[in-house]
Amino acid sequence: MLLIPLFLSCAGGDAGLEVSGWEILHDNDRSISSAMAKTGWKLVSVPSTFRIPVDTGNKKMSGAHYFWLRGAIVIQYKPENFYGITMGRVYDTDAVYINGYQIGSMENDEIGLIRQRRNYVIPRGVLRSGENSVYINLGAYSADRAGITSVVRILPRRDYEIVSLISTFFYFHLPLEMMVIASLISVVLGIFFLWNRKELLYLYSLFAVLLYILFLVSLFYPFTVVNASLTRAINWSSYYLFAIALILIIQSLFGIYVPLYNYVCIPVFVLFTALVLLLRNTGGIFYIANALAVMTELILIPVTAVMITRFHRARRDRFKAVAALLISAVGIVVACLEIAFSLAGGAYSLFVTAYCAPFFLLLFVIIFAREQMKKNLELELLYRRLKINSKGDEGSSLNEAAKEKLERVMDFIRENYSSDLSREGLAAAVGMNPNYMSGLFKQYAGIKVNEYINRLRIEDALKKLEDPEVKVIDVALSVGFESLSTFNRAFKKEVGRTPTEYRESAS
């Protein structure tokens, strides 16, 4: 994946002839004859991107802002040996003229947010021996930079076809394949979540994968269906929505949910998204969106660092800590690079995210496989201690065999109530139907299985709350609850007060 920029930058190699002597003319008149007759051209260097002069009094973006670039190329012999011209990625639209003859163009309804390499075949007879003029009319559809990000060359047929082949692969086939793979992963995640709705990691990861698919669509899909301003807003919004996904994924990975992060950080990122969508037609949206992206990363860095450190202390798991740290670090670094490229008008803007994201998908698959295997193994070992080989009698009454099984279940729960126990797992371990065992358990103990587990957890929590130095969230996690809100509900149901109220009254 790291070789992609190398391929893109070296697609043309050193073959062909380079266009040089570039000059720029800021003029919205798109007529080639008018451009060739005008004065006021200024020397510039290409490859480069240029700031487009925008009327500061115009608060709304209205159409495109056009300007001209012109250069020259000298062919010493056999101009018929050259087959096409390649310009690299162009921002935004272009119309290319050689010796006053238009050889190709790409208008607004043909381009996407991630600008493709522009390669055009030169008709026979257009090139001539000696000096040839090259005029390029560029159009920018926003207040950001526009220009050409690679050296402009004319190439022999073989080299031109190689460049076109590489461009087609990276700008069409590879994105399409990545969207197909991401779609398949999203289907698998959806099935897993429907199969086990308690595992919110599947749901939040599904959100992240769907966000990536939306990001790819916003990059490579032409502006024919969705206009440019809305596409840009969707693309910028993906940074803020990714921050939400990252916070939720880290919490679900550890099985710990902290309302403070969810009720404070998430609304902030939702607000950023709403602002970009509402202000997408404003002239300064480019700077507003990037400023919000910088603020997002400044919020995300300390929040993720605190979450990972705190969660690892509560539930020590080196693999989860490393996975969460890797996802956070790589995601934040990629986002920061994209912001820097965007502000600087870099040649590889948007490429980093588009082509590095598959690593996140692979990491998700590894995490899911490991977590599922680890959980299954732990539960199998845990319930093996409870397993009873005798089938017993599944009649409607509490016979001696059933009472013996229920006593063993209750003893097992008392020893392991802080683990992730389930009615189904307990029933399978003692060879009973879950519904049948649940009914017998309530008949024998007077309460449901889950209520009995929560009662033991609350009894342990009451003792731990006596220590004023221990945080309520740490108490909740240590006795087996996955989130503070679940602990608060169960505690109030059992004791009649919240943990905080109980601690205040006890002190």
pLDDT, tens digit, for every residue of 239-295?
898 899 889 888 888 877 777 778 888 999 999 999 998 988 877 788 888 899 999
- What average pLDDT is seen over the chain? 81
**Residue 389 pLDDT grade (very low, low, confident, very high; cuts 50, 70, 90):** very low
- Count other C-beta atoms under 10 Å from residue 449's C-beta: 22
CA 427 – CA 406 distance, rounded (Å): 10
455 vs 199, which has greater pLDDT?
455
Q: For 354-380, what is the mean pLDDT?
A: 72
Range in 55-59, 115-119, 290-294, 322-326 with the lowest mean pLDDT = 55-59
Given 3-state DSSP classes, what are the helix, strand and coil percentages for the chain, each rounded to the nearest 5? 60, 15, 25
Least confident of 16-20, 210-214, 335-339, 392-396: 392-396
d(CA 151, CA 118): 12
Q: Phi and psi of 92, rounded to 5°?
A: -110, -70
Which pair of structure tokens corresponds to residue 397?
A: 């009454």
Percent of the chain predicted with pLDDT > 70: 84
Tell me: pLDDT of 321 over 60. Answer: yes
Which stretch of DSSP H or E encloses residue 322? helix 318-344
pLDDT greater than 80 at residue 52: no
pTM > 0.85: no
Average pLDDT over residues 473-498: 83
> What is the average per-residue pLDDT within 313-324?
81
User: Is the per-residue pLDDT at 217 higher than 70?
Assistant: yes
Name the most confidently modeled range: 21-35, 101-115, 434-448, 466-480. 21-35
397 — pLDDT class (breaks 50, 70, 90):
low
All domains of the chain in start order, with CATH: 4-164 (2.60.120.260), 170-373 (1.20.1070), 383-506 (1.10.10.60)
Q: Prior bond to 92 cis, omega within 30? A: yes
Least confident of 85-99, 144-158, 421-435: 421-435
Q: Considering only 198-212, 339-353, 452-466, which range has the smallest mean pLDDT? A: 339-353
